[in-house]
Amino acid sequence: MMLDGAQILKIAPAFRSAKRIILMALGFMMLGLAFVGAFVPIMPTTIFLILAAWFFARSSPSLERRLLEHPRFGAVLRDWRDRGVIPRRAKILAAAGMAIGLGLFVLLYSPSPLLALAIAAAIGAVAVWIASRPEA
């Protein structure tokens, strides 16, 4: 069954509305994960806030604006959005968190050397990418 232009125009608002609801739900999910990350030492906070801002930018500009104006996290989010900046302290904490995570993985799960090397290589690649981002 083919839809003609008039039929597509009739159902398009429903798809836009569903997309908006899904993006907003994902934004709130990322915000919840960021909240958990604020209290759990190994879990990150900032990446989930960045994702929440991205989802809210596409679903609710007012919620994005509230995140960008937040007294504690707003400046970091604006710097990332505008210039791809990651503060040096965040880079150091990210690298330390990844190293601790890798160490715990190796100690607790005793993976095969090949798997440990593959995980270490993936984490190393992410660490290099983070380190390559501008700081100011």
Q: What is the pLDDT of residue 37?
A: 87
Interhelix angle 61-68/5-39, rounded to 10 degrees, is: 20
Q: What is the pLDDT of residue 38?
A: 86
Q: What is the pLDDT of residue 41?
A: 75
Domains in the chain: boundaries = 14-85, 86-136
Q: What is the pLDDT of residue 2?
A: 64
The structure tokens listed for 120 are 């270490």
Give mean pLDDT in consecutive 10-residue pieces for the chain, a chain of 136 residues: 61 76 95 91 84 95 94 92 90 90 94 96 95 91
Q: What is the pLDDT of residue 6?
A: 64
Cβ atoms < 10 Å from Cβ of 103:
10
Question: Does the model's pTM come out above 0.85?
Answer: no
C-alpha 119/C-alpha 44 separation (Å) is 18
C-alpha 129/C-alpha 127 separation (Å) is 5
Q: What is the pLDDT of residue 14?
A: 66
